[in-house]
């Protein structure tokens, strides 16, 4: 029997739009199907090609005002650093 693989597509056009406007974009990681580091690396590489400038991805946990946390990846364009609070 051949195993069935599921592929999740990144919303590249939406992420590119946010990166062009803000310089950073957060993509929430799913607890059901967490992203592999290689997948995120490939997404950052494709975003770099689409943006025509380097895009870096970092694994982050964002803390919300109510104390809850969201795990995901922060993509940043052109070497900009995010402001974490």
Phi, psi of 19 (to 5 degrees): -65, -40
Residues 6+ apart with CB under 8 A from 7: none
Give the model's pLDDT for residue 46.
94
The pTM for the full model equals 0.76
pLDDT at 84: 46
Spell out, as residue ranges, where the chain has pLDDT lower than 50.
80-85
Amino acid 3: pLDDT? 52
- Plot region of 13 (φ>0 → left; ψ -120 to 50 → alpha; else → beta): alpha
Q: What is the pLDDT of residues 19-36, one digit of tens each?
A: 999 999 998 888 888 888
């Amino acid at each position: 029997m051949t195993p069935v693989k599921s592929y999740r597509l990144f919303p590249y056009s939406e992420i590119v739009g946010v990166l062009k406007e803000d310089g950073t974009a957060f993509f929430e990681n799913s607890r059901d199907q967490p992203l592999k580091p290689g997948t995120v690396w490939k997404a950052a590489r494709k975003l770099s090609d689409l943006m025509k400038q380097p895009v870096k991805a970092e694994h982050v946990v964002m803390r919300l005002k109510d104390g809850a946390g969201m795990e995901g990846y922060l993509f940043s364009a052109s070497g900009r650093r995010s402001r974490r609070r």
